[in-house]
């Protein structure tokens, strides 16, 4: 492990960053949508398809064995990454969305009934709202909402009241808001839910890239996240669950891999985690994802968080000096995401013009329309940073933003 965080070296590890876009150096500030991949991950994908490609688990030949070992090695790395009790509680999915739908369609279908309440927060991504609405409708259950205040902080007093005045069966909240960056107090949220016997799913899509999560210390029932927001490939997600819960849950999809024995008289299901991994999985990308975890581990401890914190403070300070600019979401606990609006200018126009200066940010509702509605906005501009970003990139961004505003007003 390196003992010093060398930003020049780190940037070299991400080859995509070194390019010109529309005649200007690329400034990639859309990390909350997806992160870039280190060379190690790109090389792993290349290696897998060049040397090891085969289907996993059933093959007896050497390539099948290599492919299986590589795939299962990532599961082992994830067990360590999350401090899970065992590898069979790590289920590979295609992403956060797939993991949440799996829990809603299995745990939810088996456990929710008429009059039950599922709590989500006003800060959620659509993928942590819609699956709950779908199963609630089917089961006659009801989705209720933990309110958020003007600054973007969840109202914990209202949360406890909701827990105490309803038959709450399930709480589904994100650890970190993708739209405005708020870090939610999940330890407290979980403790309070457990007090009334409710189970909790944490949407960790935005948090795993920024700080360590210990699923045992936090007593998390379910955790879902995506590899592509954690410097790994697209098309891979992770669902962690407590063993007793996963064991009691019926399978989600039927097919190969998830069975023990199939006959027309009836079928028995495979054990965890394979019960939930029907069909040929995304072997190459799971394998390569393991290298993203290795890469993160190779960075000096706390360096990622410190670098991002410095970027957040600097960007906030620079942006606040712009006339007519308002930052949406000013929670005291935030990751390096700055969402903002500018008087009289449509966010989309800003996004389009910034691209002409090589700057990539996200504009729109960020898959969080109920949150935009809460603030009576159609959308925001969102700059989201990763540890490979720099203050000089923020300078380029702020300069481009000022020119953009002049052009638009």
Ligand X SMILES: *Cc1c(COP(=O)(O)O)cnc(C)c1O
Q: Which residues are catalytic?
A: 367
Binding residues for ligand X restricted to 226-265, rule: CB under 6 A = 226, 229
Min dist CB 229 to ligand X, Å, is 6
| Of 203, 221, 285, 308, the one binding ligand X by CB under 6 A | 203
| Of 105, 121, 122, 178, the one binding ligand X by CB under 6 A | 178
Which residue stretch of 84-92, 109-117, 138-146, 199-207 sits at the interface with ligand X (rule: CB under 6 A)?
199-207
Min dist CB 235 to ligand X, Å, is 9
> In sequence order, what are the beta bridge partners of 170?
118, 199
Task: Using the minimum distance from each CB to ligand X, give the nearer residue, 57 or 229.
Answer: 229
Task: Using the minimum distance from each CB to ligand X, give the nearer residue, 143 or 353.
Answer: 143
Query: Is residue 182 at the binding interface for ligand X, with CB under 6 A as the rule?
Result: no
- Other beta carbons within 10 angstroms of residue 58's beta carbon come to 9
Compute the distance between CA of residue 228 and CA of residue 212 in angstroms, rounded to an integer. 17
Compute the distance between CA of residue 218 and CA of residue 213 in angstroms, rounded to an integer. 8
Min dist CB 24 to ligand X, Å, is 27
Task: Using the minimum distance from each CB to ligand X, give the nearer residue, 286 or 353.
Answer: 286
Binding residues for ligand X restricted to 157-176, rule: CB under 6 A = 174
Compute the distance between CA of residue 300 and CA of residue 5 in angstroms, rounded to an integer. 6
Which residue stretch of 125-133, 189-197, 243-251, 387-395 sits at the interface with ligand X (rule: CB under 6 A)?
125-133
Half-sphere exposure of 319 (CA within 13 A, CB side): 23
Min dist CB 6 to ligand X, Å, is 29
Compute the distance between CA of residue 389 and CA of residue 338 in angstroms, rounded to an integer. 14
Q: How many residues are listed for the chain in this entry?
A: 409
CA angle, 359 then 150 then 366, to 5°:
35
Query: Is residue 74 at the binding interface for ligand X, with CB under 6 A as the rule?
Result: no
Compute the distance between CA of residue 96 and CA of residue 84 in angstroms, rounded to an integer. 18
Compute the distance between CA of residue 406 and CA of residue 299 in angstroms, rounded to an integer. 40
**β pairing state of 359-360 and 27-28:** parallel
Which residue stretch of 51-59, 122-130, 151-159, 269-277 sits at the interface with ligand X (rule: CB under 6 A)?
122-130
| Of 121, 127, 282, 390, the one binding ligand X by CB under 6 A | 127
Query: Is residue 125 at the binding interface for ligand X, with CB under 6 A as the rule?
Result: yes
Q: Who's near 271: CB < 8 A, 6+ residues apart?
A: 88, 260
**β pairing state of 20-21 and 168-174:** unpaired
Query: Is residue 380 at the binding interface for ligand X, with CB under 6 A as the rule?
Result: no
Query: Is residue 128 at the binding interface for ligand X, with CB under 6 A as the rule?
Result: yes
Which residue stretch of 120-128, 138-146, 185-193, 285-293 sits at the interface with ligand X (rule: CB under 6 A)?
120-128
Task: Using the minimum distance from each CB to ligand X, give the nearer residue, 331 or 405.
Answer: 331
Helix ranges, 197-334 (H) = 243-248, 283-298, 303-320
Task: Using the minimum distance from each CB to ligand X, give the nearer residue, 31 or 192.
Answer: 31
Binding marks (x or -) toward ligand X, 92..111, rule CB under 6 A? Answer: ---xxx--------------
Query: Is residue 206 at the binding interface for ligand X, with CB under 6 A as the rule?
Result: yes
Half-sphere exposure of 137 (CA within 13 A, CB side): 6
Query: Is residue 184 at the binding interface for ligand X, with CB under 6 A as the rule?
Result: no
Compute the distance between CA of residue 20 and CA of residue 397 in angstroms, rounded to an integer. 14
**Three-class DSSP category at 33:** coil
Binding footprint of ligand X on the chain (CB under 6 A): 95-97, 125, 127-128, 174, 178, 203, 205-206, 226, 229
């Amino acid at each position: 492990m390196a003992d010093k965080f060398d930003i020049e070296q780190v940037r070299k590890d991400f080859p995509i960053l070194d390019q010109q876009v529309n005649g200007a150096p690329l400034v990639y500030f859309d990390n909350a949508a997806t992160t870039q991949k280190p060379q190690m991950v790109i090389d792993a994908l290349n290696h897998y398809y060049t040397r090891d490609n085969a289907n996993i688990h059933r093959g007896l030949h050497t390539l099948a064995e290599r492919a299986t070992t590589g795939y299962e090695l990532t599961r082992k790395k994830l067990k360590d990454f999350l401090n899970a009790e065992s590898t069979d509680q790590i289920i590979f999915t295609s992403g956060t969305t797939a993991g949440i739908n799996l829990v809603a369609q299995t745990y939810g279908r088996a456990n929710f009934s008429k009059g039950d309440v599922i709590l989500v927060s006003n800060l959620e991504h659509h993928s942590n709202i819609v699956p709950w609405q779908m199963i609630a409708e089917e089961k006659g259950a009801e989705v209720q909402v933990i309110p958020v205040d003007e600054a973007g902080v969840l109202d914990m007093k209202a949360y406890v009241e909701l827990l105490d005045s309803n038959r709450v069966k399930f709480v589904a909240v994100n650890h970190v808001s993708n739209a405005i960056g708020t870090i939610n107090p999940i330890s407290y949220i979980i403790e309070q839910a457990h007090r009334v016997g409710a189970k909790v799913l944490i949407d960790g899509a935005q948090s795993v890239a920024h700080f360590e999560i210990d699923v045992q210390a936090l007593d998390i029932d379910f955790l879902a996240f995506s590899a592509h927001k954690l410097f790994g490939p697209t098309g891979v997600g992770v669902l962690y669950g407590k063993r007793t819960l996963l064991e009691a849950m019926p399978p989600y999809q039927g097919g190969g891999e998830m069975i023990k024995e199939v006959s027309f008289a009836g079928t028995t299901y495979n054990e965890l985690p394979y019960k939930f991994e029907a069909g040929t999985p995304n072997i190459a990308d799971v394998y390569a994802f393991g290298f993203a975890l290795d890469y993160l581990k190779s960075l000096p401890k706390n360096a990622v968080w410190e670098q991002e914190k410095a970027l957040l403070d600097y960007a906030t300070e620079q942006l606040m000096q712009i006339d007519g600019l308002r930052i949406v979401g000013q929670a005291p606990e935030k990751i390096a995401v700055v969402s903002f609006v500018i008087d009289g200018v449509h966010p989309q126009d800003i996004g389009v013009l910034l691209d002409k200066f090589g700057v990539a940010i996200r504009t729109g509702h960020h898959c969080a329309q109920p949150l935009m509605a809460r603030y009576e906005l159609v959308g925001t501009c969102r700059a989201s940073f990763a540890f490979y970003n720099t203050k000089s990139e923020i300078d380029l961004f702020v300069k481009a933003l000022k020119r953009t505003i002049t052009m638009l007003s």
